[in-house]
Structure 1
Amino acid sequence: MVTPWAVCVGESMAALLPDVPGPLDGVESFAVSAGGAESNVACALRALGVPSAWISRVGDDGFGRRLVGEVTARGVDTSGVAVDPLRPTGLYLKETGGSTRDGDLGTGRSKLHYYRAGSAASAMSAATLRDPAVERLVDGARLVHLTGITPALSETCLDMVRALLDAPRGQRLVSFDLNLRPVLWRDRDAGVLREFVNAADVALLGADEAEIAFGTGDPAKLRALFPGPTTIVVKDAERVVTALTAKGAVSEPALTVDVVEPTGAGDAFAAGYLAGTLHGFDERRRLRLGHLAAASALVAQGDVGELGDLSRLADADAGGSAGAAEDDGQWSAATVAALLDAPEEQWRATRISADGIAFGGLR
Structure 2
Amino acid sequence: MTSPTPALIAIGETMALVTPRDATPLADTEEVELTIGGAESNVAMHVAALGGDAAWMSALGDDALGRRVHRTVAAHGVDTRWVQFDEQAPTGVYFKDPGHGVLYYRAGSAASRMTPATIAGVPLEDARIIHVSGITPALSEGCAALIGAVIDRVAASRALLSFDVNHRAGLWPASVAAPALRALANRADIVFVGLDEAQTLWGCRTPAEVREVLPSPERLVIKDGDVGATHFSDAGEEFVPAIPTEVVEAVGAGDAFAAGYLHGMLAGDDVVACLRGGHERAHLVLQSTGDVLETAAGTGQ
SS where residue 67 of structure 1 aligns?
A: helix
Q: How does 1:101-250 map to 2 (within 5 A)?
A: 109-130=99-120, 132=121, 135-136=122-123, 138-167=124-153, 168-186=155-173, 189-190=176-177, 191-237=179-225, 239-250=227-238
Change (3 A) 1:242 1:309: farther
Question: What code does the residue aligned with 2:191 have?
Answer: A
Helix, strand or coil at the partner of 1:199: coil
Cα deviation per residue 1:104-136 (whole Å; 9 max; x = unaligned)?
A: xxxxx3521110011110001111121x2xx23
Aligned to 1:47: 49
Q: Distance in 1 between matches of 2:190 and 2:273?
A: 16
Matched ranges for 1:247-262 at <5 A: 247-262=235-250
Query: Structure 1 pair 161/217, CA: closer, same or farther in 2 (3 Å)?
Result: farther
Q: Is 2:279 the partner of 1:291?
A: yes
Distance 2:125 2:283 in 1: 32
Q: Is the aligned partner of 1:10 residue 2:12?
A: yes
CA contact (8 A) 2:77 2:298 kept: no
Aligned to 1:347: none
Verify the 8 A CA contact 1:152 1:188 in the aligned structure 2.
no
* Alignment match, 1:263: 251
| Alpha-carbon distance change, 258 to 2 in structure 1, aligned in 2, over 3 angstroms | farther
Measure, in 1, the Cα distance between the counterparts of 2:275 and 2:261. Answer: 6
Distance 2:38 2:251 in 1: 10
| In 1, Cα distance between equivalents of 2:42 and 2:145 | 23
Whether the 8 Å contact between 2:23 and 2:248 is mirrored in structure 1 is: no
Larger radius of gyration: 1
* Native 8 Å contact 2:125 2:158 kept in 1: no
Q: Distance in 2 between matches of 1:308 and 1:58?
A: 24
2:39 maps to a residue whose letter is A
Contact 1:94 1:111 in 2 (8 A): yes
Alignment: residue pair count: 295
* Cα-to-partner distance string for 1:48-104 (whole Å, 9 max, x where unaligned): 1211011111101110000000000001011111101111100001122xxxxxxxx
Indicate which of 69, 76, 81 corresponds to 1:79.
Answer: 81
Maintained 8 Å contact 1:296/1:307: no
1:57 to 35, 41, 59: 59
**Percent same amino acid among aligned pairs?**
43
SS state at 1:304 partner: coil
Distance 1:187 1:279 in 2: 36
Deviation of 1:139 (Å): 2.7
Partner-residue secondary structure (3-state), 1:277: helix
Residues 213-222 or 200-209, more deviating = 213-222
**How many angstroms does 1:142 deviate by?**
0.5
**5+ unaligned residues in a row in structure 1: which ranges?**
97-108, 311-330, 332-363
Q: Could you say which residue in structure 2 is the equivalent of 1:335?
A: none
Distance in 1, matches of 2:221 and 2:12, equals 21
Point out where structure 2 has 5 or more consecutive residues left out of the alignment. none
Distance in 2 of aligned mates of 1:75 and 1:263: 22
Higher relative contact order (CA closer than 8 Å, sequence separation 6+): 2
Distance 1:158 1:21, change over 3 A: same
User: CA, structure 1 residues 221+298, in 2 after alignment: closer, same or farther (shift >3 Å)?
Assistant: same
Runs of 4+ residues over 4 Å off in structure 1: 307-310
Using a 3 Å threshold, how does the CA distance of structure 1 residues 299 and 20 change in structure 2: closer, same or farther?
Answer: closer
Measured in 2, the distance between the counterparts of 1:293 and 1:307 equals 12
